Amino acid sequence: MAHEDGTVRVAMITGGGSGVGAAAARLFAARGWNVAINYRSKAAEAEQVAGDCREHGVEALTLQGDVADDGHCRRMAAATAERFGRIDALVCSAGATQFTRLSDLDAQNAEDFQRVFAVNALGPYQMARAAAPWLTAGGRGAIVNISSVAAKNGNGTSLAYIASKGALNSLTLALARLLAPEVRVNAVLPGMIDTGWFDDALTEEALATIKGNFMKASALGVVSTAEDIARGAVFLAVDATTTTGQLITIDAGYTLGRAVRISN
């Protein structure tokens, strides 16, 4: 499916085998974009997402690679450009954490921080750098980083995760300045998302308790889905043509909080 100017645009998505990345790939495809789907270890899942995208009549490419490795980032960007001839949008959705008690300051060491930062902060930088020649070539490229409200409220799965998302927010602002006017750069800050993120770390009972507490504290009283977050990311990449350097919170009103009811 071609756009109004006759071109078929291309979105490159990291962490596209599951969660927000997978949802974003499907949404781009539904809007007629070709997609390049990066995965690190979930090959079968990524191929399933690619198959879903192809049902919309677009082309889909899967790319194995670790965003923490600069060589992988450069290879994946080059492979996407070689296949499609362009890159119009980059969504950095690959993420990592280490589940710890925030009250335990000894739960993480320097190596733990470096591993999490390598994916959550260094990875988006390396992907932006690798894709920049093609993003800038068309004069209307877009980067959307998937960050977290953890960077705003200091609450998350680990101190390394919280700090890495703060770094990603700062990186988003810096890249928005440096790559303007050819490329817009924004970030989406989700709250809790109903995905498999916690499956290996929490029991079903513990997860249900956390979800319940989140909903009680949120103005909208719900937990976001991967599609909720992906819609925000695709909006920033495609429709928000004069928006750059923005950190957009999509958390069902968690950071806003519930209204205080005062009765006479």
Which residues does the annotation mark as catalytic? 161
Residues 211 and 18: their CA atoms lie apart, in Å, by 20
Question: Do 225 and 193 meet the contact criterion of CB atoms below 8 Å apart?
Answer: yes
Count the Cβ atoms, other than its own, within 10 Å of residue 264: 2
Question: Do 98 and 113 meet the contact criterion of CB atoms below 8 Å apart?
Answer: no
Q: Quick one: which H or E segment has residue 61?
A: strand 60-64
Residues 141 and 131: their CA atoms lie apart, in Å, by 10
Question: How buried is 241 (Cβ within 10 angstroms: 0-12 exposed, 13-18 middle, 19+ buried)?
Answer: exposed
Q: How many separate helices (H) and strands (E) can be counted in the chain? A: 9, 7
SS3 143: strand
Give the tokens for residue 132. 């920049």
- Tokens 């069902």 belong to 252
